[in-house]
Structure formats: C-alpha cells, structure tokens
Amino acid sequence: MCTGFFSLVACKESSITKAGLVPEVDNINTFAKSTSDFGITFSHGTADAIITSNFAYDHNGSASPFSAIAIGAYTDPFFGKTVASAHFQLTPYSSSFKFPDGAVIDSAVLVLPYIVANIAGSYYGDTESVNTWNIYKNDAVLEKSKVYYSSDNVNTGTLIGSGTVRYHQFKGGVKNILAATNDTTTAQLRMKLNQSFATEMFAADSNVYKSTTAFFDYFKGITISPDMTQPQQLLAYFLLPSSTTWEQKMLSDARIEFHYHTPTDTTFSSIVVRPSVAAYYSTIKQENSSFPVANLLNRNSDSILIQSQPGLRTDITLTGLNDIPLAVVNKAELVFTVQNPDPAYLLPFSPIVPVIVNDNGTEMPLYERIDNNGSANDAGIAMVNPYAARVDINGVTYTRFKINIPRTIQQYILERKDKIIIRLKGTNYNPGMYRILANGLNASDDMKFKFNLIYTKKNN
C-alpha cells in the first residue's frame, strides 16, 4: 500500500490509470480540467540538421533497410520550398576493371534503383508534374569516415547530364531492356549522361580504375540536383543496394553504365555505388520566408506547425500545474486536428515525435518512454499514441492526434513544477517529406487545440 507524497513518487508507475479505466468525474474525488484552466502558448523553431550520411530506407518492411538518398524539390504554397540534392561516390566493382582495347564508347547512363511508388513514403509531390534534374561532377573528394548533415554542401563542377523525371517512371516498377545484353531491369531510373563525359571516362588512364583510392582521386563523385530554374514538384528516395556478386552489381546497384562496342561485340561496364566504401549523403534545405507560414512563426496561439526533420517544430508551453493537488493522473492528453492540405498531395505524417524540453533547453523523452530504472523504454510509445487517426467533422474527414502524457504530467505534479514544455516535431524517417498544419487556440471548438486532464485526489 502506498501513502503520502514520497510513496506516491515511489509508486508512480501504478499511479497511472490505464486507458479505458478512467473513473467518472464526480468533483468529490475525481476532477477534470481543460484548456481554459491552464496557460498555454505555442512557439515555433526549426529542428537541427539531421545526419544523412547513414540514411537507410525501410522499403516494404525489409529486415535490412537499404542505404538511400533523396533527390527533388517541391513548393508547398503554405510552408514554402523544399530542395533535396544527393551526393555520392562511385567505384569500379573490382581492381581488374578495364575497358577492352579497341572498344568504342557509345554512351554513359546513370542508373538509380528506386522504391516502387505504392510503398508509402517513397515519393512526395505532384504525380502530374514534370521535373528536371541535373548531374554534376564534384570538385571535392567526399570522405567515407566523415559524418555529413542535411545542411552540408559540396562544391560542384562540370554539368555532365540532365534528365526529365515524371511520376509514371516510378509507378509499378517500370521495366527496361538493355540492348547491349538483353538483360531486363526493374524499378530503376535511367538518365543518359553527356557524350563528352562518357568519352572522358573511357579515355582515362587504366591505372585510375585499379584501386578505390586512385579512382576517388580521379573521379570525386557526382551530385544530382533539381534544376531550380525549371518547375519542380516531386521529391523521391533512391536506393543504394550492396550487391555481392559481379552480375548483381552490374544490374542491381546504383551505377553509371558505360556502353561500348568492339568489332565483334556490344556490351557495357559499370562503376557502382558501394556504401561500404563510398560516401553518400543528401542536402535538404527549406525556404519559407516569403510564404504564409512565416507570418505564424512569431505568434503564440495560432497554430501547430510541424515538418519531417529537418523542418519546423512547435513547442507547447503549459502553466498552472501547481493548481493541481498531489493526485493520481487518470488522463492527460494533447488533442489537435490537422487542417486538410491544399493541394491534397501535401499529406500529414504519422507518427509525430513528442519530447520534453528542460529548463536548459535540452530535450528528454516523455516519462512514458522511460522505465522505473530510468532506462529508455520503446514500448512506451503505445501509451503515448503519437499516431494519426481519422475523424469526421460536419461531413469532412480530418486527421487528428491525441497524444497521451499522463505519466509525464504525473511526474511534474509530484515535483511541484508549475510549467512544462512539450515539443512536437517530425520524425527523421522521411526527411524532406510531409507536414502538419493544425489550429491552435483560435478556432472553432471541434478544430482547436485542447488539453484534457482528469485526476483523482490521493487519500491521506
């Protein structure tokens, strides 16, 4: 049996009422408080740059997610522009790589494996858009041992190709038949490179192909960027598989194919992306200063603004916890309803990431995500429930979140803290994609932000 303040601290785990077991409010022992009983303000900021040199995409629930890169750009009429560029190295598949004597180069083709578009999160944007991407040689060597962030840039050099990208190229896994060998490949974007580049690489001294180090010194890698002088409305992820055999590398890896012929044969050889030795990362940048969202960034009651990392996040500051006596917290939830996007393809994401912001500005997990020993407990996410749900309001379907934080509020009450800051931010699962715009305190009752609390006073 637990009695008194110190016992309540010791028994905090059992002091949380399980979902579905919330007692009826009788205003004798059990009480309810709502949004108007607290001081609530919103503030907005930008999440820190994320590491993209280890980005791996869990395509279709794979046990071993592939390394991946992001390429493309789109303009959200409310949140602004997002631009993603990919940078990576390629290397010969073996030290015996060599173009045959007497061969004549025909073409060079950049090949990027992609995720078939019916898998959520593989692309984002307008499926009717036509997009132009440019390919450049890099002027600086990337370093495999270096950590690269979404804010990092690469000095680019010569333009070696460009291509037009449309959604239908991703739909259903388009098949390509390679004329040189009659092999069939599936779900690979192919972009022809400039003939001058093909000729240059074909004529290079054979010694540069004999080791990865020598090749990186000669060919420093490439950057693929959306051409921002042209309309852009699509961002997509591409995979960097790690194939084990020569045949797989030639047909499955991200690569540049060099097609050539001899008097007796027509074939191709490839330099490939090997994530085990080759550096890769994506630059992801957002610009919102000339868009409507900029008008909300300094307001404290209007909106909840969240983007996948790196992007906007919202801090909710709640005061008035000292007005609650030492009690068992039966229910504590943050409720907000997402405005339907326009255009409709600018979807919200799920889950979101709620964390506590300490007095010194650092983040810590919600107490629902920490066990009694102070260790992280991933199973606690089930209690928090940071997932989107559908709700019908006046015949219109919206996305709604109900974030459960009873244990966190319980801890603050036990410590007699009057103020708590909860940060809502996006995940890093889908960098550059998805956004949430939700009403703050100034909206109709069924659309505005709410904080609901039910507690039972502890008997002495």
Mention every residue, 6+ apart, whose C-beta is less than 8 A from residue 215.
91, 92, 208, 209, 271
Cis peptide before 431 (omega within 30 of 0): no
Q: Could you tell me what percent of the chain has a pLDDT over 90? A: 66
Q: pTM (2 decimals)? A: 0.87
Return the SS3 of 201. Answer: helix
428 in Cβ contact with 323 (< 8 Å)? no
The region that residue 28 occupies, defined by phi over 0 for left and psi between -120 and 50 for alpha, beta otherwise, is alpha
Please return the burial class of 31, using the count of CB atoms within 10 Å of its CB with bins 0-12, 13-18 and 19+.
Answer: middle
Amino acid at 233: Q
Is residue 7 over pLDDT 50?
no
pLDDT of residue 95: 82
Backbone angles phi, psi at 112, to 5 degrees: -125, 110
Whole-angstrom CA distances from 304 to 285, 338, 347, 416 are 21, 9, 15, 27
138 in Cβ contact with 157 (< 8 Å)? yes
pLDDT in tens, 69-114: 999 999 999 999 999 999 999 999 888 888 988 899 999 999 998 8
| Strand 327-338 versus strand 396-404 pairing type | antiparallel
CATH of 12-47+309-457, one of 2.30.29, 4.10.320, 2.60.120, 2.60.40: 2.60.120
424 in Cβ contact with 309 (< 8 Å)? no
pLDDT of residue 6: 30
Is residue 119 over pLDDT 80?
no
Amino acid at 19: A
| Strand 389-393 versus strand 450-457 pairing type | unpaired
Cis peptide before 351 (omega within 30 of 0): yes
pLDDT in tens, 409-434: 999 999 999 999 999 999 988 999 99
Is residue 306 over pLDDT 70?
yes
**What are the sequence ranges of the domains in the chain?**
12-47+309-457, 56-287
The arithmetic mean of pLDDT across residues 14-32, rounded, is 75
pLDDT of residue 2: 40
- What is the DSSP-derived secondary structure letter of residue 361? S
Backbone angles phi, psi at 255, to 5 degrees: -165, 170
pLDDT in tens, 250-274: 567 899 999 999 888 888 888 999 9
pLDDT of residue 12: 43
Is residue 13 over pLDDT 50?
no
Mention every residue, 6+ apart, whose C-beta is less than 8 A from residue 20.
none
Q: How far apart are CA 177 and CA 188, in angstroms?
A: 11
Among 31-45, 377-391, 409-423, where is mean pLDDT lowest?
377-391
pLDDT of residue 94: 82
